[in-house]
Structure 1
Amino acid sequence: MSSPDDTASHGSAKLPPRWFIRTAWVVHRGLYRVSGGRLGLREPTPAVWGMMRLHTVGRRSGTPRVAILAYFEDGDDLVTLAMNGWGDPPPAWWLNLQAMPTAEVDLPGGRRTVVAHTAAGAERERLWAVYRTLNGGDDLDAHAALRSRETPVVVLSPAN
């Protein structure tokens, strides 16, 4: 299946094994927890994405869920990709946000309430292009081509 993600592939995508990706997630969350939040989050720079903690509510369980995600800033908005370590199924946090778009994020500067929407059309193309410019973005299209569906670009706007 073709998608806008794979129109400009930049070489073959090579991913580490799934067990390695999952272990890295567990270690990252543990590092954040053990350090009391001092380690694990970072602000984005013009060349490198930042790291934030996203708090959602489970769409079926109703219990709080937390994920640490890469992001960049687009004005007041935070932009992330709904990928599951480049695996095909959508990440649970994205399914939770689709059911309940209001969430909270922890950033290095504090917590804020946000409302999520999926970027589409020209907005999606513009934001995807920004991700390509960030460190590691040269393989973005090749990695996205590994998925059977388009990778959602998720915009988290400040809640009013």
Structure 2
Amino acid sequence: MAQEQKQNKSGGFTALSLWFQRKMNTRTTRRIRRKGGRFMGMDMLILHTAGKRTGEPRETPISWFSGGDDWLLVASGGGDRNPDWYANLMAHPERAAVELPGRGTVPVTPHLLAGDDRAAAWKRITDAQPRYEKYQRKSDREYPVVRLTQR
């Protein structure tokens, strides 16, 4: 079973690991709605996107970091490729929203950060959660950092 949860040769994940991830996302989403937006010492929100190919609504619980009045997200999951939520967000930015406990759902516009903006955001993120620096060192790709601004 543990063998089936590893990445396959194309860099994607097996059906079993995808099933498990969906199950955990559903449980975490329910927990955020029921008990608030902290999990494992991190602030959490529910990211609403539309599927890249299908356009179907998607919900992803994800950690976020303060960017002033904005929300900073790190596309760190997905192994050697960006996570699905990131692909969905970039494919349909006009359908993006965040759900926050006590605030409801807020439409947002994503901005992919680069250069000095990304460096400043990355410092803020790794100061708050040093584990992200450790994750980044283990990866061959630079994690995208996205700033979400309220629409």
1:26 partnered with 2:19: no
1:95 partnered with 2:106: no
**Distance change (3 Å), C-alpha of 1:132 and 1:21:** farther
1:59 & 1:21 partners in 2: Cα distance? 17
1:26-82: CA deviation from partner (whole Å, max 9, x where unpaired): 33522543x692136239xxxx54100001001111111111100012121100101
Query: Could you say which residue in structure 1 is the equivalent of 2:9?
Result: none
Whichever structure has more helix as a proportion of its residues is: 2
Amino acid at match of 2:141: R
Query: Could you say which residue in structure 2 is the equivalent of 1:154?
Result: 146
1:40 & 1:89 partners in 2: Cα distance? 30
1:154 & 1:118 partners in 2: Cα distance? 5
2:51 & 2:18 partners in 1: Cα distance? 22
Structure 1 gaps of 5+ residues are 1-16
| Length-normalised TM-score, structure 1 | 0.72
Summarize the alignment of residues 1-160 of structure 1 with structure 2, pairs less than 5 Å apart. Answer: 23=20, 26-27=23-24, 29-33=26-30, 37-39=33-35, 41-42=37-38, 49-84=42-77, 87-102=79-94, 103-108=96-101, 109-135=103-129, 137=130, 139-159=131-151
| Deviation for aligned residue 1:117 | 1.2
2:105 & 2:58 partners in 1: Cα distance? 15
Provide the alpha-carbon RMSD of the alignment: 2.7
**Distance change (3 Å), C-alpha of 1:100 and 1:76:** same
Amino acid at match of 2:69: D
Q: How many correspondences in the alignment?
A: 135
Q: Which has the higher contact order (CA 8 A, sep 6+)?
A: 1
1:67-108: CA deviation from partner (whole Å, max 9, x where unpaired): 1100012121100101216x2111111011111113011011
**Distance change (3 Å), C-alpha of 1:40 and 1:28:** farther
1:27 & 1:127 partners in 2: Cα distance? 28
| Deviation for aligned residue 1:116 | 0.4
Q: Please state whether the residue corresponding to 2:55 is helix, strand or coil.
A: coil
**Distance change (3 Å), C-alpha of 1:36 and 1:140:** closer
2:56 & 2:86 partners in 1: Cα distance? 15
**Distance change (3 Å), C-alpha of 1:151 and 1:36:** closer
| Deviation for aligned residue 1:146 | 2.1
Q: Percent identity?
A: 33
